[in-house]
Chains A and B, each alone.
Chain A
Amino acid sequence: MKDDLILRVVSKLTMPFMLLFALYVQFHGDFGPGGGFQAGVIAAAAIVFYGITFGLAAAQRLVPEIVVERLLAAGVLLYAGVGLAGILLGGNYLDYFVLGADTVAGQHRGIFWVEAGVGLTVAGVMLKLFYMFASRGRDAGDA
């Protein structure tokens, strides 16, 4: 689909908005519907869309596989790290009350980072799955 002018233009036009919407869903999840899971999938979908339109190689140049693999591990570590931070600051594991000046600020900070961890992992896994499936097809086609 690399030669389709309409697809190329539309995907370039909509990509920034998809990524922006992913960030909105990620960080506005406290106030409206959304959160890490949804935001991760939307962000991955934007890159998948790019990959479908411009080819897998272009998507892998944009977001290299090594970065994706690091991301999906970093998300879990970030989540678990928030729990450990709670212990280090004198609370229980995954206790957010101790993370900020007062309990509500602590809760906000904890939820923010935990959701960020979820988003990173989900986006990483979705993108990695797409890369694996798409690149297998390409290898089979070459052989």
Chain B
Amino acid sequence: MAATVVALALQRNLFGAVVLFSIYSFLMATVLVALDAVDVAMTEAAVGAGVSTVLLLGALYLVGGMEAKPLVRPLLPLVLSIAVGAVLAYGMQGLPGFSDPQAPIHVHVAARYLAEAPRETGVPNVVTAVLASYRGYDTLGETVVVFTAGAGVIALLRRRKRK
């Protein structure tokens, strides 16, 4: 994965960048499978590696295949991203250890969901129970976000077409 990211950053050919992005996304999906997050892995593989690659290739067809050479080499963004990365790395020191059962996220409501969801909802897949039932409002919001994004793209691209 790290090799993919480095190659992605160095890639000047946008077609290669899109393909590398797709590979990265697929590797990410395998990582998520290894973490037992099958639902998320499925979404990552379908959206990241599948459909968004097609959409990026469609956009690439419109804008051409090579990245333009930057006129100046600004240092500020580089410094800024290194600084933010350092802050994040520092913040990671304070996180609980990987798969620590006493981590705050595992002792709040997750235990109750795991214990009660099969009885309360009759749905064996707890992810679906949390997503659609306990967190129904959040998922409604997400659906509206997807809808709004689609509506926004429609509004933008259709106006251009009419000109």
Contact = CB atoms under 8 A, between A and B. Distances in A.
B58 A108 contact: no
B105 interface: no
Given A33-B39, A35-B131, A133 B150 contact: no
Q: Could you tell me the dominant secondary structure of chain B's interface residues?
A: helix
Q: Could you tell me the dominant secondary structure of chain A's interface residues?
A: helix
Contact of B38 (A33, A122, A130, A137): A33
A83 B144 CA distance: 14
A35 B147 contact: no
Interface in B49-71: 50-51, 54-55, 58-59, 61-62
Interface stretch (B8-16, B19-27, B122-130): B122-130
Interface string B125-154: 101110111001101101110110111011
Contacts of B136: 83, 94, 96, 110, 114
A42 B121 CA distance: 26
Given A42-B46, A130-B58, A137-B61, A111 B121 contact: yes
Interface in A85-143: 94, 96, 103-105, 107-108, 110-111, 114-115, 117-118, 121-122, 124-126, 128-130, 132-137, 139-140
Contacts of A110: 132-133, 136
24 contacts: A25-B42, A33-B38, A35-B39, A37-B47, A38-B39, A38-B46, A41-B51, A69-B154, A75-B143, A83-B136, A96-B136, A104-B120, A105-B122, A107-B120, A107-B122, A107-B133, A108-B122, A128-B154, A132-B157, A132-B158, A133-B61, A133-B157, A136-B161, A140-B62
Given A30-B123, A114-B140, 5 more contacts: A25-B42, A29-B125, A79-B140, A125-B147, A128-B154
Interface of B: 38-39, 41-43, 46-47, 50-51, 54-55, 58-59, 61-62, 120-125, 127-129, 131-133, 136-137, 139-140, 142-144, 146-147, 149-151, 153-154, 157-158, 160-161
Interface of A: 25, 29-35, 37-38, 41-42, 44-45, 48, 52, 69, 72-73, 75-76, 79-80, 83, 94, 96, 103-105, 107-108, 110-111, 114-115, 117-118, 121-122, 124-126, 128-130, 132-137, 139-140
